[in-house]
């Protein structure tokens, strides 16, 4: 416990006293000690009166410094501006390590979008299991692994390392999504309607959600001055919508059944 001048003043205002017992382990600040000296109050430590001589005062200050150095009071969290927090406020959350930001921070909003994307994709994967199409289930699991890797990289604040998805590299996915005529013998799916299959419509819904996550990521990782961070994550987000679009093309082609 650190005994400050302010604490002593409050005690003295409530009830004046002539002696003050300094409990074991209590650290008295120099200003607190001076307050007692000025009021002529005896300091009792271990049952004995501590003299108010200059030598004793120097020893007391030395003891205070040594104890503070020995047991530094360090905050549990810090803010972006360097502010200290011993408890995490409800309106704040950890962005990295023990660094706190408001929950409205663009990076936290992005994490929420990514979390929502993953949750909805998993529900869809479960729903698609009823189609009993091995190729569809395999592709859904491939995308699930890809999304989980993005979520992990963001939460741990580490670089996203590219992996294959749908059995292809991210650059190959881009090529396929841009050339449906070459790879599927059909044009782009510009005119999506209720005439399309249930699988294609659900995948299209997830494609739009992935685009929302991508836009949120661009907002979080780029500044008005043109500085862009996490380029590998932004590439992965961009390719995710392409991956889902490729799945839509597969669905339209009939590779996932006729549901």
pLDDT tens by residue, 170-213 = 999 999 999 999 999 999 999 999 999 999 999 999 999 999 99
Higher per-residue confidence, 38 vs 243: 243
- Beta bridge mates, 48: 45
Instruction: Write out pLDDT tens, residues 99-112.
Output: 888 999 999 999 99
Predicted pLDDT of residue 248? 98
- Specify the higher pLDDT residue, 86 or 124: 124
Kindly list the domain boundaries of the chain, sorted by start residue. Answer: 2-70, 75-101, 105-253
Angle between helices 231-253 and 198-221 in degrees, nearest 10: 170
Tell whether the model's pLDDT for residue 70 goes beyond 60: no
d(CA 168, CA 44): 78
Identify the band that residue 230 occupies on the pLDDT scale cut at 50, 70 and 90. very high
Q: Are 256 and 136 in contact (CB under 8 A)?
A: yes
Specify the CATH superfamily of domain 105-253. Answer: Cobalamin adenosyltransferase-like (1.20.1200.10)
pLDDT of 224: 76
pLDDT confidence tier of residue 53, bands split at 50, 70 and 90: very low
The string of pLDDT tens digits covering residues 77-96 is 888 777 888 888 899 888 88
With a cut of 70, say whether residue 59 has pLDDT above it: no
Residues in contact with 19: Cβ distance below 8 Å, sequence separation at least 6, in sequence order: 41, 42, 43, 44
**Which pLDDT does position 54 carry in this prediction?**
47
pLDDT at 49 over 70: no
């Amino acid at each position: 416990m650190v005994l400050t001048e302010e604490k002593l003043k409050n005690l003295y205002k409530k009830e004046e006293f002539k002696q003050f017992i300094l409990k074991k382990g209590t650290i008295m600040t120099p200003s607190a000690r001076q307050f007692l000296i000025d009021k002529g109050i005896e300091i009792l430590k271990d049952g004995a009166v501590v003299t108010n001589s200059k030598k004793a005062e120097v020893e007391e200050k030395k003891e205070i410094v040594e104890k503070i150095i020995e047991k530094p009071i360090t905050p549990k969290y810090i803010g972006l501006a360097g502010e200290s927090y011993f408890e995490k406020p409800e309106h704040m959350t950890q962005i990295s390590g023990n660094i706190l930001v408001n929950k409205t921070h663009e990076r936290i909003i992005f994490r929420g979008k990514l979390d929502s994307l993953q949750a909805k994709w998993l529900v869809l994967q479960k729903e698609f299991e009823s189609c009993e199409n091995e190729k569809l289930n395999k592709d859904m699991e491939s995308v699930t692994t890809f999304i989980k890797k993005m979520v992990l990289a963001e939460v741990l604040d580490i670089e996203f390392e590219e992996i294959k998805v749908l059995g292809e590299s991210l650059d190959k996915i881009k090529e396929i999504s841009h050339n449906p005529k070459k790879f599927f013998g059909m044009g782009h799916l510009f005119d999506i309607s209720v005439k399309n299959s249930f699988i294609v419509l659900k995948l299209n819904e997830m494609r739009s959600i992935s685009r929302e996550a991508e836009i949120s990521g661009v907002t979080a990782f780029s500044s008005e001055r043109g500085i862009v961070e996490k380029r590998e994550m932004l590439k992965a987000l961009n390719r995710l919508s392409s991956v889902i679009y490729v799945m839509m093309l597969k669905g339209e082609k009939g590779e996932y059944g006729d549901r």
